[in-house]
Structure 1
Amino acid sequence: MGCSQAPEKAAETTGEKAAAPAEKAPAKDRIEAIKERGVLVCGVKDAVVPFGYVDEKTNQIIGFDVDVCKYLADELGVKMETKAVTSATRIPMVAQGSIDIAAATMTHKLSRDDVIDFSITYFMDGQKILVAKDGGINSVADLAGKKVGTAKGSTSEKNIKAAQPECTVLSFEGYPQAFLALKQGKVSAVTTDSTILLGLKNSDENPDNWVIAGDYISAEPYGLGLPENESNFRDFVNGALMKMWRSGDYQKIYNKWFGKDTNYYLPLTWQMELWP
């Protein structure tokens, strides 16, 4: 029996409001338009720790992706604004011009590249499953006949169906909603990239109740989503990312969110593509 997919409705998340939209500028270079506007508008997740989430003290969106966007804004000499996106809305928002960049845990896939452009890889991860510690599930093989939660519009939907055809996938508005379903017993596992799962687990009141199980299901190279066919802007973003890596600023930002002293420790084991 094939793996079916049943969408599950959940409340939309909200985040920091952007003061200015990212207007399309067909007659003008986007970099010039951003500088005139004085703002780089970045689409980021607002409920995915530690990439993008709302700081309870300031009510502002913070996280690894936000800091990457802030670096790019500084390189342009402008302010940064954030707009909350989900896995389902991030590509349409880039394509429609409501944001300049999507820094939103987005895997660079050829199918997505038909709609928008991407930067070079700026983060590497892989997909796993999050399960109850004493739930008897130790690998994807154990999910046969089980329900698995993930987020709408994510690569995780297709990847888990390919890895375990005998499961049923429930797609939620976001990963927090999928994790809630796991805690309520509505699904037997949540699947997405391992660092996102780590964020869900360690943000819970009882993190020891949950384990990230099994081998990697897939490799997930993250790229920044960019407007289609705007090569000057793409060249700027790629150049800024490489500068950030060479200067050590990338490693500082990375260690801030994924270093040994954090709850989301992930050793930096890959090398960014660097052009001579």
Structure 2
Amino acid sequence: MRLKAALLLSALVAATACSPARAQNPADPNLTGTLKKVKDTGALTIGYRDASVPFSYLDGNQKPVGYAYEICLKVADAVKAHLKLEKLDVRLNPVTSATRIPLIANGTIDLECGSTTNNTDRQKQAAFTNTHFLTATRFVAKKEKGLDKTDDLKGRTVVSTSGTTNIRQINEINAARGLGMRILPAKDHAEAFLMMETGRADAFVMDDVLLAALVAGSKAPEAYTISSEAQSQPEPYGIMLRKDDAPFKAVVDAATAALYKSPEGKALYDKWFTQAIPPRGINLKLPMSEPMQKAFANPSDSADPAAY
């Protein structure tokens, strides 16, 4: 009897010791996918780029900063609130253009924060939340030349980077509209900008955000202007997340839509595109375009350029 009583007491002590642990992490049958993973681990992992200025890059202290990175931090706050977590561990994981999709797919990262284009091919492998930036093909020229519209390039010498969609687009425009441009290929963006800078070309055609970065980093940023008219349809950038995870995407979509529609969204854009940014204090001087204003007013995860 004494032995049975001792065994029973031991069993009760063991059960009592285990019960608080179970109570601290109760199973939630309503949670699946990323939300369940975050709830179970108390952590959400952000994939960041180290040199995608101004979207996601390392500052002077080798810490991630940037426009898309800050958006991801806002999403993390929304996930924490949705799951009613007292604390959420936001973990950081570097990614590259080659690793970003595989690391999303295999669960290493939960959000990819950079300058990733949302297109139909990528939507076969991953999901995207609402568009946070629209790039487009434009041209940069010296202000003194007074070039701003596509028709202003008639009869001009124009350069673009070899092998890009941009040089294909400007060649197609040239042929379709009979503008008589002389279009030169450059081996890279730096060479193309130098050709425009030194007068060997009147204009350099490329993604507007890349042109803005080149102008900002030049010796005399005030000497150049980027065309107000685009030579292509808008190309949407979005925060990437795992495919077929509707509950998590709903939380992320709601968080980004609320941010973009609010004055805070416009302020965040201005912080990274119209003001001096670390570590060199360059200013991209890229005010929010009309399509971008529309995209913020009516948030969308569409990959179709025509939607913008």
Decide which of 173, 189, 209 is 1:195's aligned counterpart: 209
Please state if 1:227 is matched with 2:230: no
Q: Structure 1 257/142 Cα, relative in aligned 2: closer, same or farther at 3 Å?
A: farther
Structure 2 counterpart of 1:72, which letter?
A: V
**1:69 corresponds to which residue?**
72
Q: Is the 8 A contact 2:126 2:240 kept in 1?
A: yes
Query: Using the alignment, how far apart are the partners of 1:212 and 1:65 within structure 2?
Result: 23
**1:49 corresponds to which residue?**
53
RMSD: 3.9
Please state if 1:215 is matched with 2:229: yes
Query: Using the alignment, how far apart are the partners of 2:98 and 2:35 within structure 1?
Result: 26
> Structure 1 regions of 5+ residues with no counterpart?
1-26, 151-156, 172-177
Q: Structure 1 214/148 Cα, relative in aligned 2: closer, same or farther at 3 Å?
A: farther
Indicate the structure with greater strand content.
1
**2:103 corresponds to which residue?**
93
> Structure 2 regions of 5+ residues with no counterpart?
1-30, 81-87, 175-182, 278-282, 301-308
**2:293 corresponds to which residue?**
269
Query: Using the alignment, how far apart are the partners of 2:186 and 2:94 within structure 1?
Result: 23
Query: Using the alignment, how far apart are the partners of 2:101 and 2:186 within structure 1?
Result: 21
Q: Is the 8 A contact 2:45 2:93 kept in 1?
A: yes
Q: Encode CA deviations 1:82-108: one digit per residue, 9 max, x unaligned.
A: 434444443333234332122222232
3-state SS in 2 of match to 1:128: strand
**2:42 corresponds to which residue?**
38
Q: Encode CA deviations 1:106-161: one digit per residue, 9 max, x unaligned.
A: 232222212211112233332224467799x98687798955158xxxxxx33542
Q: Which has the larger radius of gyration?
A: 2
- TM-score of the superposed pair, with normalisation by structure 1: 0.66
3-state SS in 1 of match to 2:226: strand
In the TM superposition, residue 66 of structure 1 has moved relative to its aligned partner by 0.8
Q: Is the 8 A contact 2:142 2:225 kept in 1?
A: yes
Please state if 1:80 is matched with 2:83: no
- TM-score of the superposed pair, with normalisation by structure 2: 0.60
Please state if 1:120 is matched with 2:130: yes
In the TM superposition, residue 230 of structure 1 has moved relative to its aligned partner by 1.1
Indicate the structure with greater helix content.
2
Query: Using the alignment, how far apart are the partners of 1:183 and 1:257 within structure 2?
Result: 22
Q: Structure 1 218/141 Cα, relative in aligned 2: closer, same or farther at 3 Å?
A: farther
- Greater CA drift, 228-237 or 95-104: 95-104
3-state SS in 2 of match to 1:119: strand
3-state SS in 2 of match to 1:108: coil
Structure 2 counterpart of 1:123, which letter?
A: F
- Greater CA drift, 31-40 or 204-213: 204-213
Q: Is the 8 A contact 1:123 1:222 kept in 2?
A: yes
Q: Structure 1 33/251 Cα, relative in aligned 2: closer, same or farther at 3 Å?
A: same
Structure 2 counterpart of 1:148, which letter?
A: T
Q: Structure 1 143/49 Cα, relative in aligned 2: closer, same or farther at 3 Å?
A: farther
Query: Using the alignment, how far apart are the partners of 1:34 and 1:235 within structure 2?
Result: 15
Please state if 1:204 is matched with 2:218: yes
Please state if 1:245 is matched with 2:260: yes
Q: Is the 8 A contact 2:134 2:235 kept in 1?
A: yes
3-state SS in 1 of match to 2:234: strand
Decide which of 95, 99, 104 is 2:114's aligned counterpart: 104
Q: Is the 8 A contact 2:135 2:236 kept in 1?
A: yes
Query: Using the alignment, how far apart are the partners of 1:39 and 1:71 within structure 2?
Result: 15
